Structure formats: structure tokens, C-alpha cells
Chain A
């Protein structure tokens, strides 16, 4: 194997490959999805009930609602806008406060407020919001709470914020998509254009071609992994260890991409494979998203061994000893895949030489 030839091929991959759509999508898609998932889904998965208010006066209730930490509160300019938001399902409940509401409440005069309730809102959200609104009104009215509540926390389990739960899927998207698709599509494209057969008659070996294409995937994948972690402020303090894990993850993804590229004949089949098994790449992330799923389920999927060490290092401040087992499994999986790629390379070389 000539490193010089690998370098030349690598340069060619970056020069020509970087103009391909897949290359661009491998960079744009993880960033876009990372942004969308962080901004939108962070709130979507929140279990906080959503309460809207349209205030025809200047009630204290409005600021209590919008500033509350226990619900998602929004103010609307008119009852019509509020009603529309409830109708669209953007709110579980919306209340319209009449003008001079606070004074009426303080004076103890009977008053009426309208509450729009979204038909699909959960019963528990309705009761919680009703109790919260009532509490706020009593607060404004100056009623004294008849109970003192003493809370006790049991057990040592920790709340996992949604931002943390979403990080694994963002990391997997960044590492896996580019790592697999860039080398796989490049290889399949060469097969379809029969340029692979042309190279087979030069001194360049198929191993060198595979290596150069794999390296492109590793570089893009690692770069995207680092970028996504930086953007999500999740780099932690063990920087070299984390980068090492991202590189290993990228190697695994790229090796799999080369395997697919060597095995599959045309681009349509490649996309069909991704359509069918793509969900398995990201399956471990769902275990993080929903902690009710037994954590051992994640271990079934090879990409777990990429994401788990990243999560341990970046979110839990883990060190080498915390991730050693996963790293060994990951290295083992990579070696097995490289072995398979070796066999596929020999077969492909024979086939291309015959072609």
C-alpha cells in the first residue's frame, strides 16, 4: 500500500467529491437537524402544560403566567388569537381576563373568566392548569394558604433534562450520516460509472481506494461531530478523550459505509438499504430520549458504543475508566468490519478486473 497514492486519491476525493450533493448534505443536514432538534424538540418533549392568556386589562395574573417555571406561558394580543392557538393545539388552555380583573378579585366580587380548553389536552394538564390558575387568583386576592407543604425527595435517581436526552441523537446524526453516506455513495458512483474498473488496471490497489474514501468519511464525520458538540456547548473537559471517541465513531461509520459501498451495486439500492435499516443507526438515541425503555436495549445496537462514551464524557464528566469497556467493544466491532471490508475488497477487485 502506497501512502502517496492514498494521499493523491484523498485529494481527488475532496476536490471532486466536495461538489457532490451528498457531501454538502452530509454537512448541512446534521447542522440543520441539530438546530431544529435543539430549538423545537427541546420544548416539544417538555411535560409542562401550555397556558395562554389574553389580558383586556393589566392583571398581575398575566405576568405570573408568563414568568412561571412550572408551565409554558404565553400572552396573546386578542381573545381571537388565543382561541386560534388553542384550536391549533399550541396551548392546552387559554384564559381571557377581563379589564379590572385584579380589583374585582381583591374586592371579593364574583367575576367570570373564559377558559378555552383544547379538546386533545390531557386530563392531568387540565386539572393542573385549573389548580394553577386558581392558586394565582387566590394569590392576587391575598387569600392565605391553609397548608404548609413539606417536600421530601426519595431515592438518588437524577432528572435528565431534555437538552441532555437530545444530544445523543444529534451526535449520532452528525457522525453517522456523513460517515456512512459519503464513502458509500462515492464508491457506488464509481462502480456505476465504471471508473473503479479503470483504476483496477493501474498500480492503485482497491485497498488504497477504499482507504482514501474511508478517510474522507472519517474526516467529515469527525469534523461534524466536533462542530455539533461545540454548538451544543457539550464539549466537557476531557477534550482529547472526546475527540478520540469521535474519531473512533467516525471510523466505524466510514467502515460501514465502505462495506455498503462495496456490497451494493447501484445508488437506488443504497438508498433503499438506508431506508430500511437507517432507523437502526439511530435506535440507541431513542433509549436516551425515553428513559423508561430498559437501558440494556441500547447495547444491542453497534452505534450505542459510539454514543455512550460521548455522553459519559461530555455530560457526566467521565474518564477513560468509565468508558473503557465500550471503547473495547467499539474497537472490536471496527476490526470485524475491517475484516469484512478486506474480504469484500478482494472480491470486488476480482470482479472489477474481470469486468
Chain B
């Protein structure tokens, strides 16, 4: 196996990639779009229910619950309350009667006016109604004879929730890497179809060398693009080394899958067509990060789970090596398995 030949082949493939200016340009434009979409997405999450309150006399219970998922803003005029609701500044506007404290103290029923915008979903109306009723119970001194003992499962993210754009970060990273599966498999398929791969093998280039050269090209393209995206979006701000290692392992994984696809398809078109369902399956674990609880444990059978989970845990929760080493080990195992399978399949195709 001659390194100079491998080097020449890698240089040739990369040159081909960048010589096709259109292809190179469109790849960069693609990443720019993903970066653009990332920055267009909300960078924060509103955790509180914004309530406007008109209260000539303020019951103390409202002060107690302020900040616990409830943001109560006092208004001085009823007109301002209605305006705030109509303009969407408040989810609901509550108007309390001036004699609320006396009535609650004497056990009389209090009438509370609540204003909602017409497009407020029913579940939010119910939520606000339940809240007001509970606050009224509390204010009137009716104690709940139940002690609710709370146990927080997982890291408590109260006040530091992951914004939507950070949840989508692993999805974009994996999507960019996965797309290169198609790039690499088409590169291989093209060589097989035009029989240049077979031609190469009658030179001092060995089958091993060919795999290595194609592998280096695939890893460089996938890793390079994902890295560019992560740098631009600040995805490397936490645990950069872990994320870099994860992206590298992911690039190896897609290289293995690329070998398999390249050898499975009979031409470029069928490689692309097989590649799309493969991409969809590999992208599934990312939905579990974007929408927690939607995928069950079977998702762990998909190799990309370990990529997505590691990027999510490291970039969004700052988890170190101790927290993710198992993921990385499994990902490495998948890498070895897929590269091995890919090499066997390609070798059979070529010889």
C-alpha cells in the first residue's frame, strides 16, 4: 500500500469536488442556509404564562406565585388589560372585584372576569381557569389535604431551558454528515460504473489503498462541512473536543454506509434512491432530541442515535467524557462494523 498513491487519489477526488465549481458552491450555499435557519429560530424559550391583572386590591397569593411559571403584570386600567390581551402581550387578563378579600373571608362566592384573545387554545383557557380556582382556594385558606412530594427526573432545566434552535442543532449536524453518505456512495458508484475503479486496480494501487483513499475523502468532506456548521452556530462552545471526536466518528460511520450503498446500487440513480431511505432512518434519532418522548428504546438500534445523543448531551448539557464514553464506544463499534461490511461488499463488487 503506497501512501503517495493514496494521497494522489484523495487529492484527485477533492480536486474533482472543488473543480466542479457549481457543486462546491452549492454545498457551501447549503450549509449557509442551514446556518441561516439556525439563527432565524428562537434563541430563547418563554417558560412563563403571561397574565395581566387588574386588581383594585391585590390578594397576597398572587405575589407568592409570581415567578413560578407565572408572570403576573399589574395594570391600572381595565382598558389596558383588554388592550394587552388583544395585542397578545398577555395570555389572559384577570379582573378582580374590589371586595374580593372580604368575600373570600366571609366564604361568599367571588365573581372573577377573565379575558382571552379569540385565538387562545381551549387547553390554555382551561389551564388559566384551573389556576385561578386553585389560587382562590389557597387565598380562602382551604388547605389541600394532600402532600405532593416532587422528584425531578433528569437535570432540572428550570430557567435554563434548551431553546428550539439548540434542540435542532444535532439534527442539522447529522443531516449535513448524512448527506455526504450520498456524495461518497455516488463517487464510488461512478468509479464502478465507468470502470475506473477496476482500471485503478491494475496499477500499483491495492483494494485496501482504494478504500483508504475513498474513506479519507468521505471523512474529510463530511467532517469538514459538519465542523463548519458547528463552528458557525457556536455548537463547539461546550465540550468542543467531545463534539469533534463525535463528528469524526460519525463521518467514519457514513463512510462505511457510503461503501455499502456504493456497492449495493447498480448505478448512480439507484445509489441515490437507496440512500434517501437510509438517510431518513438515520435521521430518526434526531427527532427524539427535537421532540423528547416521541421515540422509544428501539431507536437505540439505529447507529446515528449515539451521534445525536452525544452531541445533544455535550452541546446542550455540557456533559463530559464520563457521561458520553459509552455512546462513543458504541459509535466506534458501529463504525468498525459498517466499514468492515462496506469493504467486504465493495471488494466483492470489484473483484
Contacts and interface: CB of A to CB of B under 8 A. Distances in A.
Do A and B come together as binding partners?
Answer: yes
Given A138-B144, A149-B132, A119 B155 contact: yes
Interface in A103-139: 104-105, 108-120, 122-128, 130-135, 137-138
A325 interface: no
Interface in B21-68: 22-23, 26-27, 29-30, 33, 37, 45, 47-49, 65, 68
Contacts of A119: 152-158
Contacts of B37: 279
A280 B36 CA distance: 12
Given A22-B269, A71-B123, A123 B48 contact: yes
Contacts of B120: 159
Interface stretch (B110-118, B241-249, B301-309): B110-118
A119 B187 CA distance: 45
Interface in A155-201: 155-160, 185, 189, 192
Nearest to A152: B115
Contacts of A89: 292-293
Contact of A131 (B123, B131, B153, B187): B131
Given A149-B114, A154-B82, A159 B119 contact: yes
Interface string A59-83: 0000000000111000000000001
A187 to B, nearest CB: 12
B26 A149 contact: no
Interface in B127-183: 127, 129-134, 136-137, 139-140, 142, 144-159, 161-162, 179, 182-183
Contacts of A110: 145-147
A124 B70 contact: yes
Contact of A25 (B47, B109, B117, B276): B276
Contact of A146 (B68, B142, B161): B142
B126 interface: yes
A155 B117 contact: yes
Contacts of B133: 131, 135, 145, 147, 149
Given A146-B110, A151-B114, A153-B116, A276 B29 contact: yes
A158 B117 CA distance: 9
Given A137-B144, A272-B30, A160 B134 contact: no
A269 interface: yes
Contacts of A105: 145-146
Given A152-B116, A276-B33, A267 B269 contact: yes
Interface stretch (A40-48, A246-254, A344-352): A40-48
B153 A87 contact: yes
Contacts of A126: 68-69, 158
Interface residues of B, number: 89
B268 interface: yes
B142 A154 contact: no
A185 B268 CA distance: 11
Q: Which of A25, A109, A276, A280 has the most CB of B within 10 A?
A: A276
Contact of B117 (A29, A138, A154, A189): A154
B254 interface: no
B85 A123 contact: no
Interface of B: 20, 22-23, 26-27, 29-30, 33, 37, 45, 47-49, 65, 68-70, 82, 85-86, 104, 107, 109-127, 129-134, 136-137, 139-140, 142, 144-159, 161-162, 179, 182-183, 186-187, 190, 268-270, 272-274, 276-277, 291-294, 296
28 contacts: A47-B121, A47-B124, A69-B123, A70-B126, A87-B153, A89-B292, A109-B145, A113-B147, A118-B153, A119-B154, A122-B45, A123-B69, A124-B70, A127-B68, A132-B130, A143-B137, A146-B104, A146-B142, A150-B111, A151-B115, A152-B115, A155-B119, A157-B117, A160-B119, A269-B26, A275-B27, A279-B37, A280-B33
Given A70-B126, A89-B293, 8 more contacts: A95-B148, A113-B147, A115-B151, A130-B134, A146-B139, A148-B112, A153-B115, A154-B118
Q: Which 7 A-B pairs have the closest CB atoms?
A: A21-B273, A89-B292, A90-B293, A70-B126, A123-B69, A276-B30, A127-B69
Interface of A: 20-22, 24-25, 29, 40, 44, 46-50, 69-71, 83, 85-91, 95, 104-105, 108-120, 122-128, 130-135, 137-138, 141, 143, 145-160, 185, 189, 192, 264, 266-269, 271-273, 275-277, 279-280
